[in-house]
Structure 1
Amino acid sequence: MIVDCHTHVWSRPQDAGLATTANGEAAIHLAADCSDHLDAMQPVDLALVLGFSARRLGADVPVEFVGRHVGLRGKHQIGIVGLDPADESWPQRLAEAVDEWGFRGVTICPPCQNVHPTDSRALAVYEACCERGLPLIVDCPSQWVPDAVMAYARPDLLDGVVREFPELRILVAGLGYPYLDETLVLLEKSPHVYADTSHLAARPLALSRALARAYEAGVIDKVLFGSAFPFVRPRQAMALLYHQCSPQRSAAEYVLPREVIEQLIRRDALELLGIPRPEGFVERHAPAGDQSETDDADEAAPEAQASGESS
Structure 2
Amino acid sequence: MTARAYCDCHVNIWNDEHVLPLYTQQLARVRAGAMAPKADADTLYAEMAHVEKAIVFALRYGDSIGIESDDETTAAAVAKYPDKFVGFAYVDPRRADCMDMLVHAIEDLKLKGVKFGPIYNGVSLADPRLVPVYEYLQKNNIPLTMHMGTTFARNAPVDFGRAIHVEPVALRYPDLVMVLAHMGHPWYGDCIAVSRKQPNVFCEISALSYRPWQYYNILIEAQEYKITDKIFFGTDFPFARVDESVDGLLTINDQLEGTKLPRVSQETMERIIWSNPFEHWWHGDNPLA
* TM-score above 0.5, yes or no: yes
User: Which secondary structure does the structure 2 equivalent of 1:270 belong to?
Assistant: helix
8 Å Cα contact 2:74-2:87 kept in structure 1 = yes
Answer yes or no: is 1:278 the counterpart of 2:288.
Answer: yes
Structure-1 separation of matches of 2:163 and 2:25: 30
Question: Structure 1 pair 18/201, CA: closer, same or farther in 2 (3 Å)?
Answer: farther
Residue aligning to 1:157:
165
The alignment of Structure 1 onto Structure 2 pairs a total of residues equal to 277
Deviations 1:121-157 (A, max 9, x none): 1122111111211000011464242211101111111
Contact 1:246 1:255 (8 Å CA) reproduced: no
Deviations 1:153-183 (A, max 9, x none): 1111111101100111010000011111111
Q: CA deviation at 1:250?
A: 6.3
Q: Over the residues paired in the alignment, what is the CA RMSD in angstroms? A: 2.6
1:4 partner amino acid: D
AA aligned to 1:9 is I
Say if 2:175 is the partner of 1:171. Answer: no
Do the aligned partners of residues 190 and 237 (structure 1) sit closer, same or farther apart at CA in structure 2, a change above 3 Å counting? same
Per-residue CA deviations over 1:31-51 (Å, capped at 9, x if unaligned) read 212222111101111000022
1:143–1:253 Cα change, 3 Å: farther
Aligned to 2:10: 6
> 1:244, 1:261 within 8 Å by CA — same for their partners in 2?
no
**Residue 120 of structure 2 corresponds to residue 112 of structure 1:** yes
Query: 1:133-212 maps to which residues of 2 (within 5 A)?
Result: 133-140=141-148, 142-212=150-220
Deviates more, 1:8-17 or 1:237-246: 8-17
Amino acid at match of 2:275: R
Distance change (3 Å), C-alpha of 1:12 and 1:147: farther
CA spacing shift, 1:158–1:247, aligned 2, 3 Å: closer
Scaled by the length of structure 2, what TM-score is found? Answer: 0.87
Structure 1: gaps of 5 or more residues: 280-311
AA at the equivalent of 1:262: E
2:77 aligns with 69
The secondary structure found in structure 1 opposite 2:60 is strand
Distance 1:201 1:72, change over 3 A: farther
For 2:11 and 2:21, how far apart are their aligned partners in 1?
Answer: 15
Using the alignment, how far apart are the partners of 1:135 and 1:83 within structure 2?
A: 12
Percent same amino acid among aligned pairs?
23
Query: Does 2:37 align with 1:33?
Result: no
2-structure distance, mates of 1:247, 1:268: 28
Distance 2:6 2:101 in 1: 29
Residues 1:254 and 1:148: Cα distance change in structure 2 (over 3 Å): farther
Question: Deviation at 1:70?
Answer: 1.6
Q: Are the equivalent residues in 1 in contact too, given 2:57–2:71 (CA < 8 A)?
A: no
